[in-house]
Amino acid sequence: MVLDRPAPVETAPLRAVERPPPHVGPGEIRIRVRACGLCHTDLHTVEGDLALPRLPIVPGHQIVGEVEALGAGVTEFKAGDRAGVPWLGGACGLCRDCVRGSENLCEAARFTGFHLDGGYAEGAVAAAAFACPLPASFTDLNAAPLLCAGVIGLRALRRSGLALGERVGLFGFGASAHIAIQVARGWGCEPYVFTRSAGHQRLAEELGAVWVGGPDDRPPRLLHRAVLFAPAGRLVPAALRVLERGGVVSIASIAMDPIPEMPYEILYGEREVRSTTAATRDDARELMRLAAAIPIRTEVEAFPLADANRALRLLKESKIRGAGVLVME
């Protein structure tokens, strides 16, 4: 499914095309795609909220599949292995950020489904060094959301500074938050969920939320940390208002509406606002370990590849329970 020009998903901007299998270069693997998770970043890409470095582009960056071809020098995988491909598709490895372990901040970073053709296709190519093995206990369908929704959720929780026993608010309860809540509980923390959707509220309760309410509701206790998964700038002051002194708001979105003007007193008391930018390979490996150990349960709703436009529209309308996943037929 190819994007030639960004447009609202209601206009079905993705079109189906036939292409030969993609070429495999040195250090790369070609994957026969079995499943690809849907992400709000895909929505931002398709609708033009992000300036795209190239067009046409095949979106999708939560790719699960079977390795079917190896480029020269690949030792991480062999033909027939199962592999996952996340958002971070490459980094220079030489800059200050890469050297200090922050390859997600590399100015030369390349992202799957953005710089590189992604997984809304039957075949995809990826750098072997940036792909990762997947927990054997997860099916292809259930593994897909781990590769971005899960990894970004983990990094956003860490960016918030969440510690054992603390109270954490999750604003928005889509694909990422439904995994993050399980990580938070696995760390012995108390999750509070803020979401409008009645269906998402029910899922939050099923997954162990201590309290569930709307985005503007006041929880029964102040929180130590908050993570914003919904790309709504107005939620930043809403989250700050329910934080203890010294609390942190971590923003997990790649794009967001403008943050409105707000009174200084809701930031005062050494409260902080931090962004979360992509994730590293170490984040992905750690999430895969946690997914198997906790174990994390992913709620998925499957769509055939040809229904990618409709699936993204449902994602935009918050009508997907858990995570949406495209499957190849």
Q: In percent, how much of the chain has pLDDT > 70?
A: 100
Local confidence band at 37 (pLDDT 50, 70, 90 cut-offs): very high
| pLDDT of 315 | 96
Report the predicted TM-score, pTM, of the whole model to 2 decimal places.
0.93
| Confidence (pLDDT) at 13 | 98
For residues 208 and 311, membership in a common domain is answered with no
What per-residue confidence (pLDDT) applies to 184?
98
What's the whole-number mean pLDDT along residues 117-127? Answer: 98
In sequence order, what are the beta bridge partners of 249?
A: 226, 273
CATH classification of the domain holding 310: 3.90.180.10
270 shares a domain with 310: no
Does residue 329 have a pLDDT over 90? no
- Is 293 inside any structural domain? no
Asked if the peptide bond before residue 59 counts as cis, ω within 30 degrees of 0, the response is no
pLDDT of residue 134: 95
**Where in the sequence is the domain holding 214, given as residue range(s)?**
150-275
Task: Give CA–CA dist 131/29, Å, rounded.
Answer: 9
CB–CB of 169/61 below 8 Å?
no
CA terminus-to-terminus distance, the chain: 14
Overall average pLDDT of the 130-155 stretch? 96
Q: Which residues pair with 66 in a beta bridge?
A: 32, 82
Residue 291 lies in a domain: no
Same domain, 96 and 209: no
Quote the number of domains for the chain. Answer: 2
**What CATH number does the domain containing 269 carry?**
3.40.50.720
Residues 233 and 317 in one domain: no
- Inside any domain, residue 78: yes
Residues 6+ apart with CB under 8 A from 148: 37, 39, 41, 61, 62, 86, 87, 176, 279
Both tokens of 303, joined, read 């769509």
Distances in Å between the alpha carbon of 276 and those of 2, 158, 227, 262, 273? Answer: 28, 9, 10, 21, 10
- When the pLDDT of each residue in the chain is averaged and rounded to a whole number, the result is 97
* Cα-to-chain-centroid distance, residue 71: 28
- What confidence tens digit (pLDDT) does each residue in 295-306 have? 999 999 999 999
